Structure 1
Amino acid sequence: MTTPAGDPRTAPPQVPGPQVPGPQVHDRHPLALALFALTAVSGLIDAVSYLGLGHVFTANMTGNVVVIAFALAGAPGFSVAGSLTSLVAFLAGAVLAGRLAGRYATTRRGRWLRAALVLEVSLHGAAAAVAFARGVDGAAQYTVIALVAVAMGIRNGTVRALAVPDLTTTVLTLTLTGLAADSRLAGGTAPRQRRRVLAVATMLAGALPGAVLVLHGQIAWALVASAVLAGATVLLNRE
């Protein structure tokens, strides 16, 4: 006997993640504050990876796909190997994020987020240690890229599951689109306008000092700063 199409018995088992009331998270909620802080960390990391690690992205995989195309076309200053290293490591981090979501499916959201952030802090710290000990040339450069990309894969996978609108912490394209498309100028009601502006501002607030450190040859200290800020987020998060 065949089972009718659409029968719930034929559906694959679902692994629930921690329940997250994303849309109900207001801007002063502990989770939102943590995500703003992590957006600043992403700005730091983007400065390190793009300016200091050979024009590679470790948080923004759209950028890496485009960079790989540039390198294959022969554009100077771009590396297929570096971007592929970042892409593969990022995917590995996202797999870990999925595993974490399943492991903490029956626990509080705060424990799940802290576990992901502790891994991120550890990986940023390890990358900083490599940069201090070996610099960011040759094999050490790929090691730093991989460590940071795994960290950002964990972050992206976790934040995606948290599903707080306009707080992806790493990508601002949809945030800026919403800011413009939903504005009163466009005939909208400008929902979450403050959140969207703050997301852009915190990314800038992280990228600016990160760029200054990298341009002054202090990549390792920029990685330390990212680890410290992410670590402070762990300690201060009251979720």
Structure 2
Amino acid sequence: MSTATPASQITDRHPLALALFGLTMASGLIDAVSYLGLGHVFTANMTGNVVVIAFALAGAPGFSVAASMTSLGAFLLGAVLAGRFTTGRRPGRLRTALVLEVALHGTAAAVAFLWAVEGPVRYAVITLGAVAMGIRNATVRGLGVPDLTTTVLTLTLTGLAADSRLAGGTAPRQRRRILSVATMLAGAIPGAVLVLHGQLAWALVAGAALAAVTAVLYRE
């Protein structure tokens, strides 16, 4: 990627945009793993975790304050680490974040293969995944590419509707916004299928593999 290219001018076929689409797909898969396989907790979507904590505090069954707080804390740790050495658009920063994400999700997969994902093991898997996603989110935030946060779609969907021709707008970045939603779905569906069929560890492998392929194909 040429660092001279402003983030606002990065096209959907730019190597960076293609990498971020790949990571959006990985996020869908990882959220399916964490929410369906780790007890209604998110490792990528911290808005969801804050709401889940509220549900748990209100006494709703099936939610855990401890699990969500563990994920939130680990995510913040990952973001702090990224703030130290991966944030920004200087050469190598995104690749460094990708390598760390692959290593952390790969380790989580290994743990899930070796032991039943319950008790302390469950918290270890949550922690590894949330640290990885904290690093990723902080790094992608530093890149500042519009509508390609890779983990949340609220503003993307808002822009898709509010800027549409139906709303009197010019529909800027419409294809990018639609592709962001589509790639998230494309990751979440197989992730959910794997977890629902008792293959949580393999779902984590798939998430690590997607990040690894993205790292290999990405050209700065």
Q: Same fold, TM exceeding 0.5?
A: yes
CA contact (8 A) 2:75 2:134 kept: yes
Name which of 125, 133, 136 aligns with 2:117. Answer: 136
**Cα distance change on mapping 1:20 and 1:71 into 2, 3 Å:** farther
CA contact (8 A) 1:19 1:109 kept: no
Query: 2:43 and 2:95 mapped to 1: Cα distance?
Result: 21
Query: 2:134 and 2:36 mapped to 1: Cα distance?
Result: 20
TM superposition shift of 1:20: 6.6
Task: Return the letter of the residue paired with 1:30.
Answer: P
Deviations 1:170-228 (A, max 9, x none): 00000000000000000000000000000000000000000000000000000000001
Matched, 1:195 2:176: yes
Computing the radius of gyration from Cα coordinates, the structure with the larger value is 1
Query: 1:117 and 1:100 mapped to 2: Cα distance?
Result: 13
Task: Return the letter of the residue paired with 1:84.
Answer: M
TM superposition shift of 1:19: 7.1
Deviations 1:153-179 (A, max 9, x none): 000000000000000000000000000
Gaps spanning 5+ residues in structure 2: where? none
CA contact (8 A) 2:86 2:96 kept: no
* SS in structure 2 of the partner of residue 170 of structure 1: coil
CA contact (8 A) 1:20 1:162 kept: no
TM superposition shift of 1:39: 0.2
Query: 1:91 and 1:19 mapped to 2: Cα distance?
Result: 30
Q: Structure 2 length normalisation: TM-score? A: 0.96
Q: Quick one: percent identity of the two aligned structures?
A: 78
Query: 1:184 and 1:129 mapped to 2: Cα distance?
Result: 48
Task: Return the letter of the residue paired with 1:196.
Answer: R
Task: Return the letter of the residue paired with 2:134.
Answer: G
Matched, 1:145 2:126: yes
Name which of 82, 95, 99 aligns with 1:97. Answer: 82
Task: Return the letter of the residue paired with 2:208.
Answer: A
Query: 1:87 and 1:146 mapped to 2: Cα distance?
Result: 9
State the match for 1:6 in structure 2.
none
Figure out how many residues of one structure are paired with residues of the other and give that number.
218
Q: Structure 1 length normalisation: TM-score? A: 0.89
State the match for 2:218 in structure 1.
237
RMSD over aligned CA atoms reads: 1.3
Gaps spanning 5+ residues in structure 1: where? 1-17
Q: Which runs of 4+ in 1 moved over 6 A?
A: none
Name which of 29, 44, 48 aligns with 2:33. Answer: 48
State the match for 1:66 in structure 2.
51
Map residues 135-174 of structure 1 onto 2, 5 A cutoff: 135-174=116-155
